[in-house]
Amino acid sequence: MKVNKLTPNLEVKDIKEVVQFYNTILGFTLIMAVPDTQDGVEQSIDEGKQYVYALMSKDHVEIMFQRTDTFKKDIAMLKDLTIGASATFYMEIEGLDGFYNEIKNKVSEKTEPKTAWYGMREFYVKDPNGYVLGFAEKLEDEDILS
């Protein structure tokens, strides 16, 4: 087996809310959205419509979002599970401290940036559906020791 990429598909309550959060706060771009009618794909969100799915990306990261009703219908083994995860989605980025300063007042649940023992400067935020996103930047060896 050859694995080409991993793209999380996250169950969400409201597609428009999650697209707004990931776009305006985290800088992701909407690639496509599927309306309630499921009769096509759109490249933008229409305020007058409801959506069942969205795909967003930023640099080399893609995340899919699927509304609860269709998510549980498509993947029956998840029907009794609640939204959220006991996992984090850990993204290595550049410019961590600047990014933190840019979003710190826009996110209600977050940790302060800190340097971990394994040489990464990192912080975590919680998205509107309870998913925890980690942002990390590898430090140079001399920065780890200071």
**CB count, 10 Å around CB of 91?**
17
CATH number at residue 88: 3.30.720.110
- Residue 78 shares a structural domain with residue 6: yes
**Residue 118 confidence (pLDDT):** 84
CA distance 46 to 125: 27
- The one-digit pLDDT tens for each residue of the chain (146 residues) are 677 888 999 999 999 999 999 999 999 999 999 999 999 999 999 999 999 999 999 999 999 999 999 999 988 888 888 887 777 899 999 999 999 999 999 999 999 999 998 889 999 999 999 899 999 999 876 554 45
Q: What pLDDT sits at residue 143?
A: 57
99 and 69 in one domain? no
**Where a domain ends, among 65, 83, 101?**
83
Instruction: Of 70, 84, 96, 93, give the one whose Cα is nearest residue 127.
Output: 84
Q: Which residue range is the domain that position 135 belongs to? A: 84-146
Q: Please give the DSSP secondary-structure letter assigned to residue 41.
A: -
